[in-house]
Amino acid sequence: MDRLLLVSSSELGQLVAQHVNAVQAAKTAGVSRIASTSMLKADDATYPRAGEHRDSERALREADVPFTLLGNGLPTEGYTGHLRQYPETGEIVGATGSGRISTATRQDYAAAAAALVQDEEGNRTCELGGPAFGLPQLAHVISAVTGTKGPTVTCQRGSTRTRSSTPTSTRRPLLRSRHRRLDRLWRPETSSQELAAAGTPCHPSPR
């Protein structure tokens, strides 16, 4: 085995230990490079699991094996998987407030990983995601597709919930066709594979 693609564990509290074991096994086997998935902007993120990602990244840097870190944004499916639920409940609940989210499909992240596991550019971090959008923009698309009043965006942080109304317009309409299935409408226009190929999201990573 010449190269290893290490995909982040989803088991809460076990990510670091599992990554350390995998990295050490790869090093013992003489792997020439490890490409490891992580999360977007792990150093600055306040997401509850960001600390685990930071620690696993640190362990990889200390392993003395050439590496490429893939800082993945959120998967688009985290939102498309609920597109039929949002009109039924009448709300989209999230913690972003007026912020914007950079997502890409799992297929795009997989394609980027397949390309970057062949990396020869030394140690670097590649930050991957698609064009950013806000939850009010998503609500507008749902309204346009269904022909009904869109869901209300509810911002929840801890036990605090605040609501905002659905906007009547967006800067750039994302609706492709009213005749396509709803769960196929919300997809980034630029894949993370294209971003990785352009080289713009990657930067040298300290050892």
pLDDT band at 162, cuts 50/70/90? low
Amino acid identity at 136: P
Q: Is the pLDDT of residue 169 over 80?
A: no
Phi, psi of 137, rounded to the nearest 5 degrees: -65, -40
**Is 194 or 183 the better-scoring residue by pLDDT?**
194
Taking the CB of residue 69, how many other CB atoms lie within 10 A of it?
26
| pTM for the model | 0.75
- Torsion angle (degrees, nearest 10) of CA 56, 61, 66, 72: 40
pLDDT band at 83, cuts 50/70/90? confident
Q: Is the pLDDT of residue 142 over 50?
A: yes
Q: How high is the pLDDT of residue 193?
A: 47
Residue with tokens 């801890």: 158
Closest by CA position to 202, among listed 110, 69, 99: 69
Residues in the chain: 207
**Is 34 or 141 the better-scoring residue by pLDDT?**
34
User: Are 128 and 201 a contacting pair, CB within 8 Å?
Assistant: yes
Q: Is the pLDDT of residue 139 over 60?
A: yes
Set out the domains of the chain in order of their start, with CATH numbers.
3-204 (3.40.50.720)
